[in-house]
Structure 1
Amino acid sequence: MKNSKIDLGLLIIRVGFGLTMMLFHGLPKLMGGPEGWTAIGKSMEVMGINFLPTAFGFTAGLVETVGSLLLILGLWTRPAAILLAMTMLVAATKHLIQGDGWSVASHAIEFLAVYVAFAVMGPGKLSVDKK
C-alpha cells in the first residue's frame, strides 16, 4: 500500500508540474516566433554562449513543451527531466545575474529541484516507462 501512495504522489507531481510548465511556459515560448525565440535564446549569454540565440530560444520552448509532455506521460522521464533541469538552470542563473533577486529566480530554482529529483528517482510505477 505504501509504494502505491508514493507512485500516486509522483504521478500527481508529474502532471501538475508538467501541465504548468507546458501550458504557461513552453507553449507560449514556441508560439512567440523567431523574435521571441531570439530574445529567450540570448539568455545563454549568462553561460558564455553568444551564438545562435534563435535556435537556443526555440530549443528552450521545445524542451519545456515536449519535455513536459514526456514528464506527464512518464515516458523517457530521466532524459526529459535532465533537459528540463538544464533549461531551469539557465533561467535561474539569468535572473540572478541580471539582478532580479532570489524571489524572481526562485520559481526556476523550484522547478530545477523537482526536475533533478525526477532525474534521480524516475517517474514511479504509474508511467509509460514502467509499462
Structure 2
Amino acid sequence: MPWFDSLKDHGLLWMRVALGLSFVAHGWPKLAGGQERWEQVGSAVSHIGIDFGHLAFGLAAAGTELIGGMLLAIGLATRPVSFLLAFTMFVAMMMHISNDAGFVKISHPMELGIVFIGLLLMGPGRFSVDHRLK
C-alpha cells in the first residue's frame, strides 16, 4: 500500500508525542522524589559495573526521562535525547536481568530501547522542531 509511505512523518509524530508524554509522567516522580529517590534510581548503574555517583546518575536518569520526554514530544534534539533514553533503558534492562526479574519485566525497557534506537536512526520526522530548524 504505497499511500502508507506518505504517513511516515505522522507515525513518527505519534510515536514521539506518546512516548515523550509517557516519559514525562515517569520522570516527574523520580525527579520530585529528591536525593533519596535519585540515589535509589542511580544505584541501577551498579548492574553495569559502575559503583560510584549513584546520586548523580539517578538525577541524570530522572532528568533525562522528564526533560528528554518533553523534548522528544516536540521533536527537539530528538537524536541525542533518543540516545540518552536508549541508554537509560539499557541500564534498566540490565538491572532487571541482574535481579532475575523474568522476561516480562526485562522486555519492557528492552522494547523501549529498541524504539529509541529506531528514532535515533530515523530522526524526528517532518513534524518536529528539529525539522523546522534545518
Q: Shorter chain as normaliser: what TM range?
A: over 0.9
Which residue is equivalent to 1:129?
Answer: 130
Within 5 Å, which residues of 2 pair with 1:15-26? 15-23=17-25, 25-26=26-27
- CA drift of 1:4 comes to 4.0
Gaps of 5+ in 1: none
Which residue is equivalent to 1:77?
Answer: 78
- CA drift of 1:19 comes to 0.7
**Which residue identity does 2:61 align to in structure 1?**
A
The reply to whether residue 61 of structure 1 matches residue 81 of structure 2 is no
Gaps of 5+ in 2: none
3-state DSSP class of the match of 1:129? helix
Mapped to 2, the partners of 1:75 and 1:3 lie a distance apart of 23
Mapped to 2, the partners of 1:66 and 1:4 lie a distance apart of 30
Mapped to 2, the partners of 1:100 and 1:3 lie a distance apart of 39
Within 5 Å, which residues of 2 pair with 1:46-125? 46-125=47-126
Mapped to 2, the partners of 1:37 and 1:31 lie a distance apart of 9
TM score, norm. by length of structure 1: 0.95
| CA RMSD of superposed structures (Å) | 1.1
3-state DSSP class of the match of 1:125? coil
Using the aligned pairs only, state the percent identity. Answer: 42
Q: How many residues align?
A: 130
Deviations 1:70-98 (A, max 9, x none): 11111110000000000000001100111
**Which residue identity does 2:71 align to in structure 1?**
L
3-state DSSP class of the match of 1:123? coil
Deviations 1:96-122 (A, max 9, x none): 111101111111111101100000000
Which residue is equivalent to 2:46?
Answer: 45
Among residues 7, 27, 52, which one is paired with 1:5 in the alignment? 7
**Which residue identity does 1:26 align to in structure 2?**
G
TM score, norm. by length of structure 2: 0.93
Spell out structure 1 runs of 4+ moving beyond 3 A.
1-4
3-state DSSP class of the match of 1:124? coil
